[in-house]
Amino acid sequence: MTPPSQETQDPARALLRHTLATLAYRGGKALRGARSGFANFNAGHSVRPPVEILAHLCHLLDWGLSFARGEEKWQVSPAPGSWNEGIDRFFESLGKLDDYLAGGAPLSCTPERLFQGPIADALTHVGQISMLRRLAGNPVRGEDFSRADIRLGFVGREQSAPRYEFD
């Protein structure tokens, strides 16, 4: 089955899916190229290390899928065994949520609630990882994200190269 195109899909679902594609692009940029040891970087008192933030991102996306399905459950799983395993899980969770939104199954919550809860929170935590990269001396390059190649359904680990980066 071919997922509905952005033109034929409900506009609210299409916007949610575009937001997930944006999250994949920005998340990929923040996660890719982190130096060895960054996963456990200690920024100070009461600041979660990046590997825990990454695990939380996955929980948020899984929670979002449960919202969409009408199951609404929060399930904390252990932190990933490695940074790369966490990255794989992040994109897997994004893919599952995007697949659900692309399908014809009804949403069991409003699109607004899905956005304002788990999806917006995930965007915040990608920003935290980017900030921690800078604090760890391995900053993510700035970019004009409005020029990025972000496409509906493009939520995997492989993302387009940046079009306009700056320092």
Give the Cα separation of 45 and 37 in Å (integer).
Answer: 18
Per-residue pLDDT tens digits for 87-113:
999 999 999 999 999 998 999 999 999
Q: How is residue 135 written in tokens?
A: 């604090």
User: What pLDDT score does 1 carry?
Assistant: 37
Q: How confident is the model at residue 167 (pLDDT cuts 50, 70, 90)?
A: confident
| Amino acid identity at 87 | I
Per-residue pLDDT tens digits for 18-34:
999 999 999 999 999 99
Q: How is residue 80 written in tokens?
A: 């990933």
Give the Cα separation of 162 and 48 in Å (integer).
Answer: 28
Average pLDDT along the chain: 93
3-state secondary structure of 30: helix
Cβ neighbours of 99 (radius 10 Å)? 14
Per-residue pLDDT tens digits for 66-76:
999 999 888 88
Quick one: 47 exposed, middle or buried, by C-beta within 10 A (0-12, 13-18, 19+)? Answer: middle
3-state secondary structure of 96: helix
**If you search the block for the tokens 């972000």, which residue do you land on?**
150
User: What pLDDT score does 76 carry?
Assistant: 80
